[in-house]
Structure 1
């Protein structure tokens, strides 16, 4: 799996996400404050939310439809979504955001690295992160320092 730079990345979660977030912060200089975590595993969702609450204002959704409904009423700087969920995938959420023109930093997490998924996330300007990588949290924290504006979805 290669690393393709800042604008569409395929990375080993935490360490690399921190690197991506740091690079974007040098380019854009904005700190992300609001994060939506989309995860159907309520245990993992609760754990991730708890760990990141000190760095982000956290919103939670258990699936794509719930996330889209939430996004009708709130704005976030970063979405961290699981890939495989009942009722839709995180990639489908990213595609819908792209089609609607919303410019939100996006991290897609998965327990497996499917080359089609990794390529598709890059295509839509998101970042892929392997959920089983021990650096997941570092990756998310690095992504915090970024401007959620013009660089995403060109």
Structure 2
């Protein structure tokens, strides 16, 4: 049984309850960070619903979880776009967003905003994201 199935088994014991990754990790006897990553992926797949930061539950019997406001990020400004692209040019090789964000935080971009700008650049094909999650300029080869 995979980790996601184990998590579903635990969460289904109390379907109306919200669970944190820490609570689930106690039942699985593993690290909360491991469980948190799996639970975030389960939200992406629709197996769980994130009801507030760090709290998850099963989708309702109608196939939808509690309504959360949908926040559409503001379009990236030319300055934000250039900051992300310039940082990648300076680094000179593909990097994960977790390495890019601290560099740009010093320039005033939050970790969330770096992700939003990078996603927009990927949609515009000014940036690519490799299978391993690293961002790269389109002309860089995948090794």
Bin of the TM-score, shorter chain as denominator length: under 0.3
Higher relative contact order (CA 8 A, sep 6+): 1
Q: Which has the larger radius of gyration?
A: 2
Q: Which has the higher helix share?
A: 2
Name the structure where strand makes up a greater proportion of residues. 1
TM-score of the pair, normalised by structure 1: 0.20
- How does the TM-score come out when normalised to structure 2? 0.21
